[in-house]
Amino acid sequence: GRGSGWPRCGGSRGGAAMDLFGDLRRMNKRQLYYQVLNFAMIVSSALMIWKGLIVVTGSESPIVVVLSGSMEPAFHRGDLLFLTNFHDDPIRAGEIVVFKVEGRDIPIVHRVIKVHEKGNGNIKFLTKGDNNEVDDRGLYKEGQNWLEKKDVVGRARGFLPYVGMVTIIMNDYPKFKYALLAVMGAYVLLKRES
């Protein structure tokens, strides 16, 4: 009787181990789904906040990072700018605008130095970087001497110094971007296992 009991006992032990392994696998799957859902919620929340900011500020890019030193000492590389772009607000000389030029992907942050306002309300203006020797006519598309309201992405309303340095580092050093992504991926995986 005693000898016949061993295989049965061994079998039940093996079954228990299999059940435990199955439970772990199911739990890991559940945890993985939970992590994926968590990540999707974070991304969708960020998109909702961004879209909300676009509606509230009237600007297609409510937040931008200063990428060059052309506006020093007013703004430095890495400063984070908060923009609004209400079309009813008149553009005035001295204010800082973010504008897009045909043929250039990245918007430019410069100061308005001259404004021409016509009787019909049409406005043309000229910009220049505070740290630049000459105005921006060399940056505009060929044959363009003035900017119009349609070229404006937003107008600076506030800023946080150097908060956008991570963006600049990722632009200047692509390897850093991949290292950061690897660290974030490892963190998600380790968090899931623990």
136 catalytically annotated: yes
3-state secondary structure of 74: coil
103: left (phi over 0), alpha (psi -120 to 50) or beta: left
User: Which residue has tokens 């199955």?
Assistant: 22
Residue 100 and residue 174 in contact, taking contact as beta carbons nearer than 8 Å: no
Given 59, 79, 136, 151, which residue is catalytic? 136
Q: Which tokens go with 132?
A: 């630049």
Given 59, 79, 110, 151, which residue is catalytic? 110
110 catalytically annotated: yes
Of the candidates 62, 43, 51, which has an alpha carbon nearest to the alpha carbon of residue 184? Answer: 43
Given 59, 70, 79, 151, which residue is catalytic? 70
Q: Provide the annotated active-site residues.
A: 70, 110, 136
